[in-house]
Structure 1
Amino acid sequence: MGIKEQPPCEHPLHEPCLDDACLDGLEAVSEAVLAMSGHLEVREVLRRITASARSLLGAEYAALGVPDDHGGFAQFVVDGVTDEQWKAIGPLPRQHGVLATMLHEMAPTRLTDVRKAPAFGGWPGAHPEMTDFLGMPIPDGEEILGAIFLANKDGGFTAHDERLLRILAAHASIALANARLYERSRELTLAGERARIAHDLHDAVSQKLFSLRLTAKAAAKLLDRDPERARTELAEVARLAAEAADELRAVVVELRPAALDEDGLVATLASQVQVLDRAHTASVEFASDGGVRTLPPAQEAAVLRIAQEALHNALRHADAAKVAVTLRGTATRGAVLKITDDGRGFDPGAVQRAGRHLGLVSMRDRAQSVGGHLTLTSAAGLGTVVELEVPGA
């Protein structure tokens, strides 16, 4: 396989040693472990593992692949490759050749020249040139969660590098397993929250809607033979409809997204923007100045809901190509949310006169309910800017 044999390390990591080389190696591993353990989203953990492995061993390129059940990769993260190079390379690799070895065997693979390996099957034309190679599976008991691939290190990879990467892979397994459990927990929490909402909606609104329907039918039958009584019934329809709307609004306002409690406003908003950016052809970006302090729960929920409403309008109605979301702190410990899109824009006055609201009423109501101030600027062909300022605690 072209494995480069190295003399045994005089100070292996599992034996006590105090010289600078060993201490540097341990400190580097510690820093790498801390870097990847401070995150709970799977994609970010994978990215941190990949970057940490490349930095730890001084490789030019690093990648981490998580296999799927169909001969491909469910996720594949790279470090050291530019976005332009990555796009030019083309589709994700399949589980074959040297990559497959890492996904089906617990042992690492260390090669002086990956191109000379019997299992090497070539790579796309835009793929960077790689020679020396070190691959390490990420084990979880008898299961392999994925594999780390490193390439191109000055002087080649050593047995010492292999031991460092093995330690990192063991910690990567824990970090990745924790991230998966965390995401699963959030999925279950969201499922439970949906079930609670459905129950609340049924109890709070369904009976009102049933009564409203019966009353409306009665009014329709009375229109010809008893108009006065029909008017009374229609007034009852209006009252029931208003009550149902109030109760529905109460359920929605009461709901506080679970992610806010766990991650905070900045991380939750950043995560939702990231999902929308992947789901839509429009570019959706998020930026925060890092100065946003923790707000009261009601204010955080209002900021998030208004952001969701504004993003929905920009992506579904405005035909925007680019949407920018910013969140910054204020001197009074409050926050300012701003959503800007380059969509078709509209005349707010004309929209209101036409009886269409695009969620503007609910956004203003939410802002006022937490002592905030909402401004909306838009014009036909000039995009839209929604800005919300909420006070501090």
Structure 2
Amino acid sequence: MPTVPSDHRHAGSPPTDRIPVGPPPDGTLPACEPCLAGIEAVSQALLAMSRHLEVREVLRRITASARRLLGAEYAALGVPDDHGGFAQFVVDGVTDEQWRAIGPLPRQHGVLAAMFHETGAVRLDDVRTAPAFGGWPDAHPELGAFLGMPIVDPDHAEDEPAVLGVIYLANKHGGGGFTDHDEELLRILAAHAALALSNARLYERSRELTLAGERARIAHDLHDAVSQKLFSLRLTAKAAAKLVDRDPARAREELAEVARLAAEAADELRSVVVELRPAALEEDGLSATLASQVQVLDRAHAADIAFAADRVRALPQAQEAALLRVAQEALHNALRHSGARRVTVTLAGTPARGAVLRISDNGRGFDPESVRRAGRHLGLVSMRDRAAAVGGRLTLDSAPGKGTVVEMEVPGA
């Protein structure tokens, strides 16, 4: 596959396409509107990348920024795995319908694979003429002009560059090929993209370690506090049972001790649960935290679990915590008790600057009144209490064979 050296001039590209480096010999700095426009565009792209810390969102921002910055019709970013495929592959300029029609993620072959072994840009007038070109699926868009740029790990040894991913651009708007100027802009963007991607990975790893440490601490607290009280409670209850016939007065004393221990255990458990509020809620906000938790549950359970958010503003801290807890409780019920094959979580802003949380499933459903009479609450009392405590309202709609919908609305600030 032909590789374009960084100092080559593409056929038809005048020398002025190169971005000037340093001041002119006479020391003056003439106005250069195209240069200023390019700097501003790069700045906007970098700001868009820096606002996000989750890897998937950073990849999307890099891809969209590269396409807009260089005026390309299509853009993609591939991150390699260790098995000849892509760990992640993000596209921009292709609709969801087109992407579904194209089919499974591409393997590392042809031009895509060759780019993972390049340390510099690859620029082609027509990608279809490249020796490594291997065609594409029937539904794939027709690509012509091509520019690829590796994202190189900035912390890797200089003599052993490690490619974190590759940005692919195709079909310059207005026709023609990509220029030296385009290549330099994309090189700058790729260098900053490497930092953004590395930071996002470190951030996610840090969060994983924080969560693991928090789980260990909570397990320790549960063992030291709650489990010991439950053990004492069980022994006391057994003693009361043996005393019921021969010493009723002593049995009543033991039962009073059972009640006391149970109340203490409930308080201990409640304090641990309160501490479970993830730090991510304060750092990332409710939408991102819910999306992350739904993603984890979707991987862990057979049911298909989806999340969507629409026009959600930042809410008071107490309301976000209550909404998160209600979502967790409703998801727990849906996944453990309903037999649902699909669970959908939506979070939408309201005109009054509040929010509505909705958790729906296609499970077996139940009769809420029968559950209430049987003394089985499925956390409904707790959910209603949480909603009321922050000025919100919780409703539940369910019937046998009809699935369940839990909805909570809060007024916002």
* 1:252 maps to amino acid: V
User: Cα 1:216–1:390, aligned 2, differ >3 Å: closer, same or farther?
Assistant: same
- 2:176 corresponds, among 130, 140, 155, to 155
* Equivalent runs, 1:73-152 vs 2, <5 Å: 73-141=86-154, 142-152=161-171
1:189 equivalent to 2:202? Answer no
* 2:309 maps to amino acid: A
Q: Distance in 1 between matches of 2:364 and 2:201?
A: 40
SS in 1 for 2:214: helix
**Alpha-carbon deviations, 1:102-136, whole Å to 9, x = none?**
21221111112222222222222332222221110
Q: Distance in 2 between matches of 1:191 and 1:271?
A: 15
Query: Share of identical aligned residues, percent?
Result: 74
Contact 2:347 2:355 in 1 (8 A): no
SS in 2 for 1:71: coil
* 1:102 maps to amino acid: M
SS in 1 for 2:91: strand
* 1:105 maps to amino acid: E
SS in 2 for 1:60: strand
Match of 2:56 in 1: 43
The alpha-carbon deviation at position 227 of structure 1 amounts to: 6.2
Moved more, 266-275 or 179-188: 266-275
SS in 1 for 2:277: coil
User: Cα 1:6–1:101, aligned 2, differ >3 Å: closer, same or farther?
Assistant: farther
Match of 1:55 in 2: 68
* 1:367 maps to amino acid: A
1:362 equivalent to 2:382? Answer yes
Moved more, 383-392 or 353-362: 383-392
SS in 1 for 2:306: strand
The alpha-carbon deviation at position 176 of structure 1 amounts to: 0.9
SS in 2 for 1:284: strand
* 2:285 maps to amino acid: G
Q: Distance in 2 between matches of 1:266 and 1:86?
A: 26
1:300 equivalent to 2:313? Answer no
**Alpha-carbon deviations, 1:289-335, whole Å to 9, x = none?**
34x34413x4432221012212333455442646352343575x765
SS in 2 for 1:81: coil
Moved more, 36-45 or 336-345: 336-345
- 1:67 corresponds, among 74, 80, 87, to 80
SS in 2 for 1:104: coil
Contact 1:134 1:157 in 2 (8 A): yes
Residues paired across the two proteins, number: 390
Contact 1:209 1:240 in 2 (8 A): yes
The alpha-carbon deviation at position 345 of structure 1 amounts to: 3.6
Contact 1:61 1:81 in 2 (8 A): yes
**Alpha-carbon deviations, 1:336-355, whole Å to 9, x = none?**
44445555543211112233
Match of 1:287 in 2: 309
Moved more, 310-319 or 120-129: 310-319
The alpha-carbon deviation at position 268 of structure 1 amounts to: 2.1
Match of 1:203 in 2: 224
- 1:250 corresponds, among 271, 283, 296, to 271
Contact 1:276 1:284 in 2 (8 A): no
- 2:283 corresponds, among 238, 262, 268, to 262
1:21 equivalent to 2:41? Answer no
User: Cα 1:215–1:14, aligned 2, differ >3 Å: closer, same or farther?
Assistant: farther
User: Cα 1:342–1:206, aligned 2, differ >3 Å: closer, same or farther?
Assistant: closer
Q: Distance in 2 between matches of 1:100 and 1:352?
A: 60
* 2:163 maps to amino acid: I
Match of 1:374 in 2: 394
Contact 1:323 1:342 in 2 (8 A): no
Contact 1:189 1:258 in 2 (8 A): no
**Alpha-carbon deviations, 1:243-299, whole Å to 9, x = none?**
212321221024321111211224323443455567665463433434x34413x44
Q: Distance in 1 between matches of 2:219 and 2:296?
A: 24
Contact 2:17 2:181 in 1 (8 A): no
Q: Distance in 2 between matches of 1:98 and 1:266?
A: 38
User: Cα 1:168–1:6, aligned 2, differ >3 Å: closer, same or farther?
Assistant: farther
TM-score (structure 1 length as normaliser):
0.87
Moved more, 114-123 or 170-179: 114-123
TM-score (structure 2 length as normaliser):
0.83
The alpha-carbon deviation at position 36 of structure 1 amounts to: 1.6
Q: Distance in 1 between matches of 2:357 and 2:343?
A: 17
User: Cα 1:286–1:40, aligned 2, differ >3 Å: closer, same or farther?
Assistant: same
Contact 1:71 1:94 in 2 (8 A): yes
User: Cα 1:305–1:60, aligned 2, differ >3 Å: closer, same or farther?
Assistant: same
Match of 2:194 in 1: 173
**Alpha-carbon deviations, 1:146-194, whole Å to 9, x = none?**
0001112210112221111111111111111111121112112212221
Match of 1:9 in 2: 15
**Alpha-carbon deviations, 1:368-390, whole Å to 9, x = none?**
44454433333345544433344
Match of 1:311 in 2: 331
Q: Distance in 1 between matches of 2:137 and 2:196?
A: 32
Moved more, 2-11 or 87-96: 2-11
**Alpha-carbon deviations, 1:13-56, whole Å to 9, x = none?**
24256322222222222222222221111101101111111111
Q: Distance in 1 between matches of 2:297 and 2:85?
A: 25
* 1:152 maps to amino acid: N
Match of 1:31 in 2: 44
SS in 1 for 2:116: helix
* 1:374 maps to amino acid: L
